[in-house]
Amino acid sequence: TWTRPGTRPGHTPVPLSLTQKQNGKLALHKAVEDDKWKRDATKVGLLIDAERDALTRTDVGFRLPVHLAARGHASVEVVALLLEFYPDGAEEKTWHGYLPVHLAARGQASEEVVALLLECFPEGAKAMCKDGNLPIHLAAMYEASAEVVALLYEACPDAMAKLDAGQAEYVEKKRKQGAAGAQAARESVRALLDKLEARETRDRRIEPETLPQTEEETSETVAEAA
């Protein structure tokens, strides 16, 4: 199981104010769902630098940024960045009892994102949400990819006994098709996490010219993430 590296030395936060909310969402929450931001780890990293507390703040549905990223097709690099600074996010549940892995399974997230969430919290594959569904139930219900089905099956093979006939048929078919891709996703994720571990002592400094120079520029930067 991956654990977070130490804090980055020489950290220089961007002087942005992210306290304005909409439906409980801060700029970081909005960014990880936005098509222009959710696949750009550099931009998301700027928002994390600006206000680390946003990682642990929930919206009205008790969703953290990592929940929104998991369901909203954010890149695996973005999800990994969120978990690097708040690894406990993989274990947090929403109002409906969804872990990030539940939302990834029902949201047809990539196999790399699902592999990452399972690497960070393997027990998530065995966790039921409030409606009694495991992640693999949701994967079958929402027709997740064969690779995602294989990942969830391999993490909790006992779940087959809890599936209805239609779900079991889907899982049995897809898990065989996706076995090789699931292994490739696990290897890709482990390589990514190794890279993050190796970066532990790296100082991710923001060059002065990238910082907002005026109050107006600061407001524009926040607006871009909204």
Break the chain into its structural domains and give their ranges: 26-204
Q: Is the dihedral of CA 152, 157, 163, 168 positive or negative?
A: positive
φ/ψ region of 30 (left if φ > 0, alpha if ψ in -120 to 50, else beta) reads alpha
What DSSP element (H or E) covers 164?
Answer: none
- Find the range with the poorest average confidence among 38-42, 76-80, 194-198: 194-198
Average pLDDT estimate for 149-161:
97
What is the C-alpha to C-alpha distance for residues 196 and 80, in angstroms, rounded to an integer?
9
List pLDDT tens digits, range 170-198: 999 999 999 999 999 999 999 999 998 88
Tokens representing residue 96 in the block: 């409906």
The number of CA neighbours under 13 Å toward the Cβ of 21 is: 8
Q: What is the largest CA-CA distance in the chain?
A: 61
Mean pLDDT, residues 19-39 taken together? 82
Q: Output the six-digit token pair for 28.
A: 């970081």
The sign of the CA dihedral 51, 48, 72, 113 is: negative
Q: Do residues 188 and 112 lie in contact, with contact meaning Cβ atoms separated by under 8 Å? A: yes
> pLDDT digits over 106-147, tens only?
999 999 999 999 999 999 999 999 999 999 999 999 999 999
Distance CA 92, CA 57 (A): 11
Per-state percent for the chain, helix, strand, coil, to nearest 5: 60, 0, 40
| φ/ψ bin of 208: left (φ > 0), alpha (ψ from -120 to 50), beta (otherwise) | alpha
The predicted structure's pLDDT at residue 124: 98
Homologous superfamily in CATH for domain 26-204: Ankyrin repeat-containing domain (1.25.40.20)
How many whole angstroms separate alpha carbon 57 and alpha carbon 23? 12
**Cα separation of 168 and 213, whole Å?**
57
For the residues 6-19, what does the mean pLDDT come to? 40
